[in-house]
Structure 1
Amino acid sequence: MKNAPFWRSRAVRHGIVWLLVISLFGLLVRAVGAGSLRTLGLRYTTLLLGVQALAIYAHFWLLTHLLERRRYGRYALATLALVAAGAIVLTLADQVDKLNIVKLQVQAGGGPPTGSLRFAQSAANVVFALVLATIARYVRRGIVSHLQVQQLRALQLETELSLLKAQVNQHFLFNTLNNLYGLSLAAPNQMPEALLQLAGLMRYQLDSSRQALVTVGTEAEYLANYIGLEKLRLRQNSRVEFQTSLPHPDQPLAPLMLLPLVENCFKHAIGPSGENTIRITLTQTATGLILRTDNSIPPHFRPTPSGLGLPALRARLAQFYPGPRHQLTLNATTTHYTATLTLQFV
């Protein structure tokens, strides 16, 4: 990425890692001896790290072009050849350049290691570097992948929230304006209160769009305004009860966690005829918040699943309040639809 910070460049990251590795090996060599022994150690360490670095980046190429493309046989053969090549280089360099690792690896039994033992030691050094680098590669890739999934999930939830707000704004505002028009003709003295409720809803929409959290009291006020405006389109024989008990209204809460259930009540309760009953209670306990809704279902009413309300609520519940402590329970019979949302803050 052109605008990525300097430290996020792959070359810079790898350079820092190798600088740390070289510094560590240099300190170890300085600690084990002096004079010719130290010089010998520095020469061998330089050669070893050079071979390991080449083997690591060659192995990265094999991982990308063979293993991750499921060419397992070719990958195994190529990796064995790579390890053998690295071991041969180290062994030959030891013989030709007189990098006598006998002085660095004194055997308990005395004499110098045989050629086969030197080859095995060199191969082990190469394998160790490949295994360590491969683990680091996939651990980092897993972390990056997890962060990307989290970012995509957050973006999806933000999009769903925006769509949910848009859905509320469009459909609800259209119905409310029609209801306000009818109210202005039938009961103009009730218009000021209804307009204040509508203004409260719009203010909430603007404020919550700029905030990651609202308060329980703010959400309850939003529900009260929403319910007050929805009641305008109910028949005279309909009953709507909204009760709250909020001893700590300043408790933070993710926005629009409660509205989908309340909206669902009015969606299911309003039928072509008959009495409509809606009961909504919002109770704050010592440890959390409980929203209970209960609405009647008109006879022969078959609501079709549509909208983003409940799916968006489930997604937001999983994101902001994960775990079995937070629950959404839905229950439908032929005459009633009940829902309970339980959030635990402590």
Structure 2
Amino acid sequence: MKKHNFSAGPCILPQEVLKQAADAVVNFNNLDLSLIEISHRSKDFVAVMENARSLVKELLNLPEGYSVLFLQGGASLEFLMTPYNLLKEGGKAAYIDTGAWAAKALKEAKLLGDVEVIGSSKDKTYNYIPKNYTVPSNVDYVHVTSNNTIYGTQFKEFPKTDDALLVCDMSSDIFSRELDFTKFDLVYAGAQKNMGPAGTTLVVVKDEILGKTSRNIPAMLDYQVHLSKDSMFNTPPVFAVYVSMLTLQWLKDLGGVKAIEKLNKEKAALLYAEIDRNPLFKGFAEVEDRSLMNVTFNLTDESTGEVFDKIWNEAGISGIKGHRSVGGYRASIYNAMPIESIQVLVNAMQQFEKEIKN
């Protein structure tokens, strides 16, 4: 039976990407060597890294003055790298708290300086995006998390920061919708949500913002060090970078971010329509802030959960249990998720309705 993978991460990947990656692990570029055996400084892998960076710039329509890095440590390390590189000695940063990952980011920033939470949706278990906040005039940067995998919310409009830098954790919706990246000064994203396997982290940074904190930054945490070595200051995660490159090429061949955004909206609309129609379900996130990537919902009667769980398991559906901190259900419908799998879930929800009524 075909499995329909709604896992929040590591994410679903295109089948053709998985096949190409599998072949490369055995024999990469007809070298009779595995991708994970060759030197990361060989011309074959250097070409992979250069192509991956080039595809990022093309797909995100990045102007001159922005650089692309493939690092390690996940978004969790970026929680610390961001203040190290952007928070000035004696400076201040502003954070908008929209969920578990945003809260972890601001916790790390507090280790290095003054942090102000200018907006939070914690009061309603993070089921909405704060709107009525004011960006202080005396902050070095404003940090937001664009999409919240646990709670299923997503920024539709980003803060206007004036003189402050705008930093965004886009781990779970990078490459899913068109955005004006000239509005951002630093963007980071763990690959394993929408771009590739776990092991590498994408960083897009505006060159001119670096080197202005007066801090002594440890080499592994210094963006300028990694830029000077083309993401190879230490041995890069070659497999994760390679699979990310393949996924980015798949996205380009599909028509790019514009094309995938259209598909993502269609997928989300199909699933949200069933949640809103079916009296046995209720959406978790506020309607205006619903994510296109992570659809969160609950049963209106928790006692019927055993029936629904049996139906979706028998349909070959995997990974829709909600995060342990929230419960309920979460369907992660990243770029590579086909709309046919969404329909399978919708069918299961409708079958559930029929069985409960009978």
Q: TM-score range by the shorter chain?
A: under 0.3
As a proportion of its length, which structure holds more helix? 1
The structure that has the greater radius of gyration is: 1
Instruction: Give the alignment's TM-score, normalised by structure 2.
Output: 0.21
Greater RCO, CA 8 A, separation 6+: 2
TM-score by length of 1: 0.22
